[in-house]
Structure 1
């Protein structure tokens, strides 16, 4: 792996850890700050909401400023480090929330810029695979970052978790600054007459919004079940609570394998990658909604679900890059990242709603299968899909994508 790609993956690992580590140190924060578990849980929602709403604004600002990558990436990582330092020093819950918001401001644009840069550095037939190497940091954060952050918080207090995040993020930033990341190629001039006389070209073409909807539905399908994996695995399947930790680890390990395989598949079989990964996720969720048989078969399906979800990410990244064309690829890729966050929130909300209404736990898997199935059908219904995905595999990366946002979770 080239050193610049490794440095960007390390930064993404820190970002992914910061996004989810609150779940592991939630009780410690609640006791120390004197708020309820529910209030601390909003720190995750606030982070995600900031990513969704602020991501396009930060991206638009960096495009207007025409910041070089050598300036943009370290500067935004500095903002991310600052947010974690503020959280570590927070005298109260309000300051802690503000620190989370500061960290989240850099999230979308940073990951996007990393993926865009990796795609541009890659050989023509390896763009999705190199982009997947960067997003591998997200999968590694769920397997290693969040558990280690939780252990640090349990041993030394929740503030130490944020100090560790700040220190590791600073180290990754310094490594990144020692690397040479190529600048994005100059943007091709746009023809004002392309939209027709008296009409403005829309900032986001319809195909981009369609791919974003596919991402939202597919992600929501997986997280409808994953959010409530612990009660599902213990109460429905009959696993011991200690075993759940191992199964969640298997989900993450499956995600790492899926991310790698999915990147290669998106390069070699771009037309098939999205429906195959979404179809596998939908089938896995449907089987998990059936009465559980052998417990270890369920464990295998759970691992397969993680692999299918993470394999879909590089395929969908390539799909939205192709759908954006030359109109507004950077903003389209920001929407891509926001769509993943919206999907996570939607899935968690739907699963909670079903359980609150008294539906059994397998119903969350059935609902997830329906959402993933809808995403599959929508991806197959795109009339421009074959042309767009082939274009992503053959054409150079978008000119302005590196200045800001490129896909990903």
Structure 2
């Protein structure tokens, strides 16, 4: 495995950490900024909005830049953004700092996916993308618990200083490990208007739709996983964190397995992983009756959810071309975040309507089933020769 992939994964670790660690520190952040916990929660929504907006804008802005330079600039902005979070004196400045940091998210994973593919043979490109996303999964397994503990012990600002330090380390490792810039992307650039037009192609749109619907199903449940486990399965609150470690371990395993399978059969892997995700969500509705089954189902949700990530990213990238591939990859990251927001909103509607936490996974399963339907149509209409996509169809 090229060490440059490890460098990209380290950057992904930092970005994943800054996105998710605030969830464990909402109370501390709210107290520190003299705002309500509900208001502090909008800092999560603000970050997601920054990803959705920043992914296409930053990718188009840097589209003629060498990829290494782009990634290093993104890490510099990441460091500045997290330092600004650590120094923020008010809610407004904290929100601005969070949005600034989020602007790097989509383009980093989009350009990073392209660099990762170019570091390995064609038959390992989906696995290379999965290795980059392993940094994101490890951020959930290791980084978020440690960052939450650090913030509770030494203050939430200390956590953001630590994340900023991780960004500096990641930038230095990428500077040393990533291959030289070589020619800029200008040679393969057909203009940003053509790049945007590429996003309107049916194959690309269907790939983005699969991403949105698939991840809406995940976050319709995961957003409310704590009450699912406590009010639904009867666990004490102290058991939630250990169970979520199992969820995080599932993320890592599912991510690597999904990437490996996609190397061999990309289309069937997408269909298969979306079907498994829907089945796991249905199973969670039954598993809530048993604590052992509920804990196991939570771990399986982690595995099933991230098994779709590398295949979906590879599929969307394969249906773009030239410089537009970076834009497609970045927008697909934004699609994941859009799915997160839609899922959280839909799950809230289910709960507000008076349904039990056992019914929530059943409602959530409708989203990956919709993605599966799109996938079946997509495989039939949009399959292309393996040589054209870099990974088997």
Quickly name the TM-score band, shorter chain normalised.
over 0.9
Q: Map of 1:4-403 to 2, 5 A cutoff? A: 4-63=4-63, 66-183=64-181, 187-188=187-188, 203-290=199-286, 292-326=288-322, 328-382=324-378, 383-387=380-384, 391-394=388-391
Tell me the TM-score normalised to structure 1 length: 0.90
Contact 1:204 1:327 in 2 (8 A): no
**Aligned mates of 1:159, 1:308 — CA distance in 2:** 34
1:286-330 deviation line (CA, Å, top 9, x unaligned) = 111237443212222221121111111011111111222458322
Q: 1:115: Cα distance to partner?
A: 1.5
Matching residue of 2:3: 3
1:147-183 deviation line (CA, Å, top 9, x unaligned) = 1111111011111011101111101111111123254
Q: 1:387 aligns to what SS in structure 2?
A: coil
Change (3 A) 1:201 1:8: closer
**Aligned mates of 1:112, 1:133 — CA distance in 2:** 14
Unaligned segments of structure 2, at least 5 residues: none
Question: Mean Cα displacement is larger for which, 17-26 or 234-243?
Answer: 234-243
CA RMSD of aligned residues (A): 2.1
**Aligned mates of 2:131, 2:203 — CA distance in 1:** 26
Q: 2:383 aligns to what SS in structure 1?
A: helix
Change (3 A) 1:104 1:146: same
**Aligned mates of 1:288, 1:15 — CA distance in 2:** 29
Contact 2:229 2:288 in 1 (8 A): no
Change (3 A) 1:357 1:146: same
Q: 1:262: Cα distance to partner?
A: 0.8
Tell me the TM-score normalised to structure 2 length: 0.93
Aligned length: 386
Q: 1:83: Cα distance to partner?
A: 0.5
Matching residue of 1:406: none
Contact 1:270 1:390 in 2 (8 A): no
Contact 2:14 2:163 in 1 (8 A): yes
Q: 1:21 aligns to what SS in structure 2?
A: helix
Change (3 A) 1:189 1:358: closer
Q: 1:384: Cα distance to partner?
A: 2.8
Q: 1:126 aligns to what SS in structure 2?
A: helix
**Aligned mates of 1:225, 1:183 — CA distance in 2:** 42
Unaligned segments of structure 1, at least 5 residues: 396-409
Q: 1:128: Cα distance to partner?
A: 0.6
Q: 1:30 aligns to what SS in structure 2?
A: helix
**Aligned mates of 2:113, 2:102 — CA distance in 1:** 18
**Aligned mates of 1:388, 1:336 — CA distance in 2:** 22
Q: 1:134: Cα distance to partner?
A: 0.5
**Aligned mates of 2:358, 2:386 — CA distance in 1:** 35
Contact 1:319 1:388 in 2 (8 A): no
**Aligned mates of 1:19, 1:11 — CA distance in 2:** 13
Q: 1:384 aligns to what SS in structure 2?
A: helix
